Structure 1
Amino acid sequence: MISINKLSIHFTGTDLFSDISFMINDRDRIGLTGKNGSGKTTLLNIIAGELRPQEGEIIIPNNTRLGYLPQEKTTESELTVYKEALNAFEEIHQLEQKIEKLSAEIAHRTDYESKEYDILIHKLSDANEHFQMIGGDTMEADTEKVLMGLGFKRSDFTRPVNEFSSGWQMRVELAKILLSKPDVVLLDEPTNHLDIESIQWLEEFLKTYPGAVVMVSHDRAFLDAVTKRTIEISNSKIYDYKAGYSAYIKMREERLGLQKALYTNQQKEIKEIEQFIERFRYKSTKAKQVQSRIKMLDKMEQIEIDDMDNSAIHFRFPPAPRSGKVVIGTEGLSKSYGDLDVLDLIELSIIKGDKVAFVGKNGEGKSTLSRIIVRDLDHTGELKYGHNTQIGYFAQNQGEFLDPNKTVFETLDDIATGDIRKRVRGILGAFLFSGETIDKKVKVLSGGEKSRLAIAKLLLEPVNLLVLDEPTNHLDMQSKDILKSALLQFDGTLIIVSHDRDFLQG
């Protein structure tokens, strides 16, 4: 369907892609993977026509329709959610106008036996048939189904889009793409703003979608449920696996193992050839053999080992300070925003060492309860803290509270004390900050980089209660694995809000 031929992109002297080629076929389910900065979003932008490749070409057949959902997109639309979603049916709306125009023209004519009248009747019949074929009769039912699948209530349908948060506005944009039924759906982190129930609905929708789907996602369970093909971007090249994400990981390990073995053997061969050349370079009787081996080296295609992100190291939290047996207790805890009751008479007891997940639909009060626990919101009812409860908190927008004028290294070094100061670079390495990146100013970091840095900062000071609100939203697979491993070993108490099922398991 879509052909990507010899594509190359260069940024600041670095090859993002170099001479890559692949096809997107009908009904493909492709997951794009690779470390942060490898070019996944750039590749989606190129396919969507948002960016032009510096070399190579994208061949898209005529009449092939694309639907692209970027990571972030806000709108100032004053239309209601329902009417904005109906904008997805542009062709149907045009047909409706055509049918109305033809019907009005026919109603005003009396020349029933004329050729012109007969032509109008045939045009109206064709328009009605096409209207039904492209879903005109089911447009409203489809809109309702998709909006509710993505978590909207019927009472939301009549609210203006610009009243909603950016996350809910992204759901409207996603609904419009799904309703417009493009031939190829391009999705960049579609689950970031969805709750678990909506993610599961989207999985089922995409499994049976009649077109092709190409997505970037750091949600392992979502990728496993939807994708059947994985394209990895690594070292400016692509590797195409006919497998979903988990199967791809196993196949990748096998490929890297083979690659490493071939590399080792080649390095051994190169060393032997170089030793021969050096040993007999000045012996006339061996001149022909020396020249032959020099040519052999020149022609030899060097085997490269793909970047394994060796900067990533395992991290352990500092020992948690001792706390009382009961860390948090509530009685009749409630919270309202105006007439809206978000929490009503919550009874909760969290014991030392508990690992608790707050799950549920967006808007049901998960983040509100977290903010109350960390004393960030007022409430009614009782909230009691146990002996020596020391809280560390990560908010969804925690990265925005970092000092924009500090460097990555200064952000951690300025608060580190004692032996921890010696470990700052190691901690930064665990969250994929190394080399020149540790000298970057916070203000130039991406949203994901800020989130990683905010988590790293949180880990410096010993606490015995961690409250994490969607900590994985902007983390890549490797950073999530590092954080998950650290949390599994954390000897304090943990409260986590997350829609990432794979992250919550274990």
Structure 2
Amino acid sequence: MVSIENLSVEFSAKPLFQEIGFVINSRDRIALVGKNGAGKSTLLKIIAGLQQPTSGVVARPRELTVGYLPQVMEVSDTRTLEEETALAFRGMNVEEWTMKAEMDKTLIGLGFRREDFARPTSEFSGGWRMRIELAKILLQKPDLLLLDEPTNHLDIGSIQWLEQFIQNSAKAVMLVSHDRAFINNITNRTIEITCGRINDYKVKYDEYVKLRDERREQQIRAYENQQKEIADIKDFVERFRYKPTKSNQVQSRLKQLEKIVPIEIDEVDTKLLRLKFPPCQRSGDYPVICDEVAKAYGSHQIFQHVNLTIKRGEKVAFMGNNGEGKSTLVKCIMGEIPFDGHLKIGHNVQIGYFAQNQAQLLDGNITVFDTIDRVATGDMRTKVRDLLGAFMFGGEESDKFVKVLSGGERSRLAMIQLLLQPVNLLILDEPTNHLDMQSKDVLKNAIREFDGTAIIVSHDRAFLDGLVDKVYMFKDQKVFEPIEKSSISLRQEKKAENVERQKAVKAEAPVADSKQNYEQQKAEAKAKAKAEKALKACEEKVERLENEIAEVEASLTEKNDMQLVERYAQLQQQLDEAMNEWEKLL
């Protein structure tokens, strides 16, 4: 479908990539991976036709349509959400009702509410504007989707919806993402950019990691053998260089040396760096206790009746869709905002807090290196550059002044600074937003070995998997561990209401005219039978979902597996949709 042939890009003396080539087929789901600065975003732009390579060709059919979502873009401020999204259908011959249904499904799937549809796009933040652009691209149904960090501004519900959309509706997809669970769930091929070339693996990301590690071990062995061969040749040349009887052999060895092509080893995986928090005094047994905590802004209730106790040493996650109150509860714990109820911080608790606004507190007039060097102690003083490299500040990046860094880079720097503080309660609000895979591994391992308590707000399922002991879900003004009451009682109440309503209607209904049209009676009977059949099917679906949820709940009482938590969230969402459908049928 799309053929990349002998593609090279040079921005300086060292090429970004050199004579690479591969083919994108019509049903490919490709994860494009590589270290920060390897050229992933550049390659997407070239395939999208927005940037020219130094040399090489991107060949594609004339009629091929491409949808490209960059990391940063400008969005118009002159229209409402609905008007802006409708632009996706320009030039298409689509029925208005079909267009409306597709728009509703996509916008709601990406987290918008119906009452948002009439709002001007100027009222939405940058993250929500990116959702608008993503919705437009998905509605165009292009032959090739190119997505650069599509989950950066999505919450757990919209990420899961996007996964299902790509699995069921998309054609060819190539994407860059640091969300391991997301790319594992939707891709079937992994293309790695490393050392200016590509390695093409016809497998999902996790399988690619295993194959890559095996490949690197082979490279290291081959490199060591080659270095031994080179050393042997040089040793022979030095020993016999001035012996006339050996001159032919010396010349032969020198030619042999010239022909050797140096073996390159793929970039070192920085996850090998071990980071340990500085020691801190022991906290009390219960660092955080919430008793009937509630928060509202005016008449808008964020959450209420929050009761939770976090024990010393626990690692807990706050999960849920945007706007459900995760960061708000964190701010309550930090004492940044007023709230109702009682919230107690335990004895000897030393809090280390990370949120996106923490980056604003950095000193802009010193370098990245000096920022970390000033807080590093003990063994870490000798590992500052390694630590910076692990968080994508390698080489000359560490000598930049903080004031020239982007918002994402500042957030990363604030995160490193926090990791070097002596604390016993970590509170991290979306810590992985600006990290790559390797940085996440370093952070995850550090938190795993941290002997204090951690509260982590995150949508990153792979990051939380195997890290947290407990998950608190935020939904519908409630905070709970992911075990809810069944909706059976709700169905029974609704059924009872419906029976009473039907009785009342029947009692009030006038006696039918004996001459009532037979065809009308027949049509009504047919419609009633169809409705009853649909109702029964819906009830069976609800019952099946409830049974599945019960099984997952039973497993969750034994272990906190992020795949189970993710499955639980999906089932709850499906159950909510089925219950809404069931209520409409009553």
Amino-acid identity (%): 56
Code of the aligned partner of 1:338: G
2:315 to 355, 365, 371: 355
Query: Does 49-58 or 445-454 show the bigger shift?
Result: 445-454
Judge conservation of contact 1:81–1:172 (CA < 8 Å) in 2.
Answer: yes
1:80 aligns with 2:40: no
Distance in structure 2 (CA, Å) of the matches to 1:311 and 1:150: 33
1:411 aligns with 2:371: yes
1:248 aligns with 2:230: no
Partner of 1:105: none
Code of the aligned partner of 1:33: V
Equivalent positions of 1:71-150 (< 5 A) are: 71-92=71-92, 95=93, 131=94, 138-150=98-110
Query: Does 453-462 or 14-23 show the bigger shift?
Result: 14-23
Partner of 1:24: 24
Judge conservation of contact 1:430–1:482 (CA < 8 Å) in 2.
Answer: yes
Judge conservation of contact 2:4–2:21 (CA < 8 Å) in 1.
Answer: yes
Equivalent positions of 1:223-372 (< 5 A) are: 223-309=183-269, 313-372=273-332
User: Higher relative contact order at CA 8 Å, sep ≥6: structure 1 or structure 2?
Assistant: 1
Code of the aligned partner of 2:140: S
Q: Secondary structure at the match of 1:252?
A: helix
1:222 aligns with 2:182: yes
Code of the aligned partner of 1:68: Y
CA shift in 2, pair 1:52/1:270, >3 Å: same
Partner of 2:345: 385
Partner of 2:490: none
Residue 210 of structure 1 deviates from its aligned partner by 4.3
Equivalent positions of 1:19-58 (< 5 A) are: 19-58=19-58
Unaligned runs of 5+ in 2: 467-586
Judge conservation of contact 1:85–1:172 (CA < 8 Å) in 2.
Answer: yes
Deviation per residue, 1:382-438 (Å, 9 max, x gap): 222111221111113433432222210221233456776555445434434344322
Judge conservation of contact 1:70–1:188 (CA < 8 Å) in 2.
Answer: yes
Partner of 1:69: 69
Partner of 1:126: none
CA shift in 2, pair 1:330/1:482, >3 Å: same
Distance in structure 2 (CA, Å) of the matches to 1:184 and 1:54: 23
Code of the aligned partner of 2:59: I
1:190 to 144, 150, 154: 150
Q: Secondary structure at the match of 1:36?
A: coil
Partner of 1:152: 112
Distance in structure 1 (CA, Å) of the matches to 2:190 and 2:407: 25
CA shift in 2, pair 1:338/1:391, >3 Å: same
Partner of 1:468: 428
Distance in structure 2 (CA, Å) of the matches to 1:249 and 1:89: 40
Deviation per residue, 1:89-120 (Å, 9 max, x gap): 1122xx4xxxxxxxxxxxxxxxxxxxxxxxxx
1:14 aligns with 2:14: yes
Partner of 2:502: none
Residue 261 of structure 1 deviates from its aligned partner by 1.7
Q: Secondary structure at the match of 2:91?
A: helix
Code of the aligned partner of 1:327: P
CA shift in 2, pair 1:139/1:76, >3 Å: closer
Residue 446 of structure 1 deviates from its aligned partner by 4.2
Code of the aligned partner of 1:17: F
Deviation per residue, 1:157-213 (Å, 9 max, x gap): 222222122111111111111001111111011111111121111111111234210
Distance in structure 1 (CA, Å) of the matches to 2:383 and 2:401: 20
Distance in structure 1 (CA, Å) of the matches to 2:182 and 2:440: 15
Judge conservation of contact 1:30–1:231 (CA < 8 Å) in 2.
Answer: yes
Partner of 2:562: none
Q: Secondary structure at the match of 1:255?
A: helix
Residue 236 of structure 1 deviates from its aligned partner by 0.9
CA shift in 2, pair 1:404/1:42, >3 Å: farther
Code of the aligned partner of 2:80: T
Q: Secondary structure at the match of 1:451?
A: helix
1:459 to 419, 434, 444: 419
1:498 aligns with 2:454: no
Residue 313 of structure 1 deviates from its aligned partner by 1.4
Q: Secondary structure at the match of 1:91?
A: coil
CA shift in 2, pair 1:12/1:450, >3 Å: farther
Residue 288 of structure 1 deviates from its aligned partner by 2.1
Deviation per residue, 1:3-50 (Å, 9 max, x gap): 222222223433211221122121111101011111111111222222
CA shift in 2, pair 1:331/1:359, >3 Å: same
Judge conservation of contact 2:17–2:39 (CA < 8 Å) in 1.
Answer: yes
Judge conservation of contact 1:79–1:161 (CA < 8 Å) in 2.
Answer: yes
Residue 362 of structure 1 deviates from its aligned partner by 0.8
Partner of 2:446: 486
Code of the aligned partner of 1:366: K
Q: Secondary structure at the match of 1:257?
A: helix
Deviation per residue, 1:112-145 (Å, 9 max, x gap): xxxxxxxxxxxxxxxxxxx57xxx6622211111
Distance in structure 2 (CA, Å) of the matches to 1:422 and 1:380: 47
CA shift in 2, pair 1:178/1:230, >3 Å: same
Distance in structure 2 (CA, Å) of the matches to 1:337 and 1:365: 11
Partner of 2:138: 178
Deviation per residue, 1:190-240 (Å, 9 max, x gap): 111111121111111111234210000011111111111111011111111
Residue 345 of structure 1 deviates from its aligned partner by 3.1
Partner of 2:472: none
Partner of 1:376: 336
Provide the aligned C-alpha RMSD in A.
Answer: 2.1
CA shift in 2, pair 1:192/1:262, >3 Å: same
Distance in structure 2 (CA, Å) of the matches to 1:394 and 1:310: 22
* Length, aligned pairs only: 466
Q: Secondary structure at the match of 1:359?
A: strand
Q: Secondary structure at the match of 1:88?
A: helix
